[in-house]
Chain A
Amino acid sequence: MCLIAAELERRGIATTSVTALPEVTRKVGAPRALAVPYALGYPLGLPHDAVLQTKILVSAFALLREAGPPPVVRDF
């Protein structure tokens, strides 16, 4: 995913993401990622929980306001 993020950022498209494995995310060099306390395969929390999914997305988008430097990795 960080290779895709890098191409987008180079074109001026700011990216944000979520991660269940922040140790790996920091290492590979993701620009921005929200570290979520859920199992692998559950990046947005729980199935059919629209409220939680939206909360996670709003928090992930909030990382766009941070000045950096990358990687910007914050806990949900």
Chain B
Amino acid sequence: MATLSDLSIKNRLFMATYRYRTVDPIPFARPRRPLREARVALVTTGAVYAPGQAPFDEGKKGGDSSFRVIPRDVDVGALGIAHKSDAFDQTGFLADRNLGFPLDRLREMEAEGLIGSLAPRALSFMGSISAPGRLAKETAPEAAALLAADGVDVALLVPL
């Protein structure tokens, strides 16, 4: 298990004083159907983008709160990564995108019948958004509407 003490001094100081945006009360939806019948969408904050898409803006102050829509049949190995955070080691993620964007795993689970179906669109955000105003007001609701339009029952969120 990682703890805050694993972070660099710079990142520890940031975390010690950063006022997290907290959610209270926490919305808690009951799954509509068993996993074997559910439509599952993948959402990452690994800042991946598909070939032909614009990378995330790693220089944007407070973080780039936009998101990319990744089609379910994308070649996971061909995804670009544009994550600004230096708080985590990106070596493993660069070697295998499935570490933070496990689309191949979900396709396998779909084929094996462990999940009902994989949603047609996955979503990618950049994590470490320190100024989340626009994310909360605009892009997160847009993303939720998009997945709702796809009939998604369950979302798997992978943070980076």
* Residue positions of A touching B, CB distance < 8 A: 1-24, 27-31, 35-48, 50, 53-54, 57-58, 60-61, 64-65, 68-71
Contact = CB atoms under 8 A, between A and B. Distances in A.
A8 to B, nearest CB: 5
B22 interface: yes
Given A8-B155, A13-B41, A41-B92, 10 more contacts: A1-B125, A4-B43, A7-B140, A13-B155, A42-B99, A47-B98, A48-B96, A53-B105, A57-B156, A70-B26
Contacts of B1: 20, 22, 35-37
Contacts of B158: 17-18, 43-44
B80 interface: no
19 contacts: A1-B127, A3-B21, A3-B135, A11-B29, A11-B147, A13-B152, A14-B31, A16-B157, A17-B156, A31-B27, A39-B6, A41-B93, A47-B96, A50-B104, A53-B99, A65-B31, A68-B28, A69-B28, A71-B26
Interface of B: 1-4, 6-7, 15, 20-24, 26-32, 35, 41, 43, 45, 87-93, 95-96, 98-100, 102, 104-106, 108-109, 114-115, 125, 127, 132, 135-136, 140-141, 143-145, 147-148, 152-160
Contacts of A10: 27, 29, 144
Contact of A29 (B23, B30, B153): B23
B67 to A, nearest CB: 9
Contact of A6 (B26, B87, B90, B145): B26
Contacts of A48: 95-96
Contacts of A68: 28
Contact of A13 (B87, B96, B136, B148): B148
A28 B23 contact: yes
B137 to A, nearest CB: 10
